[in-house]
Structure 1
Amino acid sequence: MKFLLNKKIFFIAALLVAALMSYSFFPSEKADFSADVKPILNSKCISCHGGVKAKGGFSLLFQEEAMGKTESGKPAIIPGDPDGSEFIRRLTAKDPEERMPYKHEPLSKEEISILKRWIKQGAKWGEHWAYVPVKEEKPPAIANKWALNDIDKFIYEKLEKENLKPSAEADKPALLRRLSLDLIGMYPSDNLAKAYLNSKDEKAYEALADSLLSSKHFGERWAALWMDLSRYADTKGYESDGSRESWRYRDWLIDSFNEDKPYDQFLTEQIAGDLLPNATDAQYIATAFSRNSMTNDEGGTENEEFRTAAVLDRVNTVWESLMGTTFACVQCHS
């Protein structure tokens, strides 16, 4: 009887250990493909198993290829079964000739755990975050007075989860400095600073923001960021980097920000301002967005070569600045 009791206790203990081990290997937390899995694949796997270079017939570039059959005739990833997946077996192999990444440092225990968890949870492929439609999120119900608006509510909810307390509200000089540097890129004038610091009005901060937004320096500050995206320069690039006059486009950008021009109109005029009905001089100037390519007029250059380079530059710029997608590789690898 005592033997049977001990055997029963041993059996229960074994079940508990197995359950704990299962939990440690496959915690309930969902493995997010874009945030957790893709960075590992990109840094440790894609160089040999992606695109044109798909060793062993295994590519992790697209879902269809990753889940498809390899040269062995079997898929390397079996959704729901990490132990039966050749992908995991090769990552954890002891033989250096089998273990992946081949002739490189092995993945860490944490990285392997993430990949196992991902496969256990179905190996669901995720879209790049930039292409996932934005969904409206309802702000959490926060009763704390610290949360003055919906953004504060999201912040406060996260702080509570991390057992953190909000920072104390900044004093007026700090708020003045922060807001001014954010909106106009410089410190405020003495008159504006004194008016805000000496004001007893509850809406003094809102009045300060309105004053800074109406400043001509607001357009200068924010146009500078767009000038970087549109590769604005006062010189041609190449060879002697001679000067060129593009300042009218620069001024158009500054005026557009200061006029609070709608974003769709802002883009339309730059991409196709010359095609608009009864286009104005300002709309023609806006199309310099497509004319900011480097130009080379030194002796012996091939015109067609640099015309093609300019076309590619325009396409790349439109995709990078408007779509958030680098496009340079596709011009040769498509």
Structure 2
Amino acid sequence: MRALSLLLGLAAAAPAVDFQREVRPILSDRCYFCHGPDSSNRQANLRLDRRPEDGALAKIVDRITTSNRARRMPPAYLGHDALKPQEVEILRRWIAEGAQYETHWSFVPPRKAPVPPGVNPVDHFVLRRLEREGLRPAPPAPKPVLLRRVTLDLTGLPPSLAELDAFLADSSPDAYQRAVERLLSSDRYAERMAIRWMEAARYADTNGYQTDGERSMWRWRDWVLEAFRKNMPFDQFTVEQLAGDLLPGATRDQIIATGFHRNHRTSAEGGIIDEEFRVEYVADRTETTATVWLGLTAGCARCHDHKYDPITQKEFYQLFSFFNQVPEKGFVYNFGNEEPYIKAPTPEQEARLAELEAKLAQARARWDALEPSVARAASKFQPPSGWLPEQALVLRHPGGVFQGGEGIDAGHEKTRLDYLDAFTFAATVNAADPDGAILSKSEDYWEGTGHGLYLVGGKLRLHIVFRWTDLGLRL
């Protein structure tokens, strides 16, 4: 009788079944494929990823314990093994306790637990669990071991000999706390923390895809490093990266912070559909935001309602719309940053720019003072109206006979044209061959970059090209 009372007492004291730790893993592994969120695989119109009707719950124990292989779940005829006895018992107890469903732990709002009194709250949580398990804590680590552990944790590198000697020589009660503060304010700590963040933000100083041309994103990288150095609060860290440009009186640094969403890959491949890749960039920002700040794989909902995370396709495109307001193009130049972008000089560069602007202002003032007298003197040498001296031409050649690869080289600078420049090409030729170059400036063979006049099949062709596959003119 005493033994029976003891067993009853133990049974009464047994904790309730934990849905998250004990039940959900069984259902997810053994049931969800046929009775989960995927409607295309769902059998018997039964869903177990959310609470079914009580009648269906009552049948679960019968179906997982029956000796009839044709009726047993998971089905033997599909090659599934029967549940283990301990798994059956967990489900039986869970149903008997009311079959309470819980949302995934990641969607449960965190609640602040009461902290046991003591010097270090973390240690006291650990001590409480150790006491419950009947274990004793390890003795304090020696100072060299302690410094090595914390330095590796915070910086990813071991302490130097000088740092170790200084720590060993410090006998003050707060020696460890001061060592931690020193590490937290170090560049190495900021770099260690920033590496993980930059990986999540898909940081790179190149565009990715096929050509992988260079671009400059290091100002955003430096902003992240500085944020960790200054121990910026995470809410501020979040707001400035997602919407720093929308803050009242946004500073340049707050605008630079929004570079988080300019880290996506961009394509300079010839022949791509501009809108297709522009949409791809928006989807990238949407998926990255969900992954980094929500911990969700939202990308699946781009094509259909998510089968696992609670995101519908409609919700994906509602979030998508937030990032679909950037005046950008799907096709970008191979090198350099693509608009929209801002000029973001460093403090050192700003100081140098201010110095140059001051010198330029002085030079302009001197010129303005001299301009009237220069204009009066120059008026004496003005040619008659409509007359243009040969010296005013960039290039003039009176004639000659050229054969093979012969020609005149005017140099790179004289024949350089910017996209806003006005220009005129004029030539009188008597060509012996119907094909050949009259004037040619080629800067990139593969891209076809350049300009010129050519004879092709006896006909004149004007050639103005930035990149022949998609940015060029031939007339």
Q: TM-score normalised to the size of structure 1?
A: 0.82
| 1:111 to 2:87 alignment | yes
Contact 2:185 2:230 in 1 (8 A): no
In structure 1, the partner of 2:17 is 31
Residue 79 (structure 2) pairs with residue 99 (structure 1):
no
Name the structure 1 match of 2:35.
Answer: 49
Residue matched to 2:444: none
1:165 aligns with 2:151: no
SS at match of 2:33: coil
Structure 2 distance, partners of 1:166, 1:189, is 29
Written as runs of structure 1 = structure 2, the 5 A alignment for 1:233-312 is 233-312=204-283
* 1:76 aligned onto 2:56: yes
Deviation at 1:27, TM superposition (A): 8.3
Q: Which residue of structure 1 lines up, in the alignment, with residue 96 of structure 2?
A: 120
Superposed CA offset, 1:16-71 (max 9, x none): 6xx979x88x98331111111111111111111112132101011223xx237xxx
Query: Which among 137, 145, 149 is matched to residue 113 of structure 2?
Result: 137
How far the C-alpha of 1:300 sits from its partner, in A, is: 2.0
Hey, what's the Cα distance between the residues in 2 that align with 1:196 and 1:232?
36
Q: Which runs of 4+ in 1 moved over 6 A?
A: none
Q: 2:95 corresponds to which letter in structure 1?
A: I
After TM superposition, give the deviation of residue 232 of structure 1 in Å: 1.4
Letter matched to residue 190 of structure 2: G
Kindly provide the CA deviation profile for residues 44-101 of structure 1, in whole angstroms up to 9, marking residues without a partner as x. Answer: 11111112132101011223xx237xxxxxx311xxxxxxx21121112222222112
Where 2:26 maps in the other structure, the secondary structure is: helix
Aligned mates of 1:292, 1:94 — CA distance in 2: 58
Shift of 1:174: 0.8
Offset of residue 273 of structure 1 = 1.2
The Cα shift of 1:298 comes to 0.8
Q: Structure 1 pair 117/315, CA: closer, same or farther in 2 (3 Å)? A: same
Number of residues paired by the alignment?
299
Q: Could you tell me which runs of 5 or more consecutive residues in structure 2 were left unpaired when the two chains were aligned.
A: 306-475
Alignment counterpart, residue 197 of structure 1, candidates 153, 156, 168: 168
Identify the match of residue 59 of structure 2 among 86, 106, 131.
Answer: 86
1:58 and 2:46 correspond: yes
Alignment of 1:172-251 (within 5 A): 172-251=143-222
Distance change >3 Å, CA 140–CA 278, structure 1 → 2: closer
| 3-state SS of 1:168 partner | coil
- Please give the alpha-carbon distance, in whole angstroms, between the structure 2 residues aligned to 1:35 and 1:134: 17
RMSD of aligned C-alpha atoms?
Answer: 2.5
CA distance in 1, matches of 2:20, 2:144: 41
CA distance in structure 2 between the aligned counterparts of 1:235 and 1:101, rounded to whole angstroms: 50
Find the counterpart in structure 1 of residue 429 from structure 2. none
Q: Are the aligned partners of 2:211 and 2:268 in contact in 1 as well (CA < 8 Å)?
A: no
Unaligned runs of 5+ in 1: 1-11, 69-74, 78-84, 142-146
* CA distance in 1 between partners of 2:42 and 2:277 (Å): 35
Q: Which residue type is aligned with residue 114 of structure 2?
A: K
Partner of 1:81: none
Deviations 1:129-148 (A, max 9, x none): 1222222222347xxxxx64
Partner Cα separation in structure 1 for residue 31 and residue 121 of structure 2 = 41
What's the TM-score once normalised by structure 2's chain length? 0.59
In structure 1, distance between residues paired with 2:219 and 2:299: 28
In structure 1, the residue corresponding to 2:172 is in which secondary structure? coil
Higher-Rg structure is 2
Q: Which moved more, 1:115-124 or 1:299-308?
A: 299-308
Amino acid at match of 1:215: S
Q: 1:30 to 1:164 in 2, by over 3 A?
A: same
Alpha carbons of structure 1 residues 20 and 150: separation in structure 2 relative to 1, 3 Å: closer
CA distance 1:313–1:67, change in 2 (3 Å):
farther
The answer to whether the Cα contact below 8 Å between 1:27 and 1:117 also exists between their aligned partners in 2 is no
Q: Which amino acid aligns with 1:325?
A: L
| 2-structure distance, mates of 1:264, 1:20 | 52
Tell me which amino acid in the other structure corresponds to 2:46: F
Tell me if structure 1 keeps the 8 A contact 2:202–2:263: yes
Paired position in structure 2 for 1:9: none
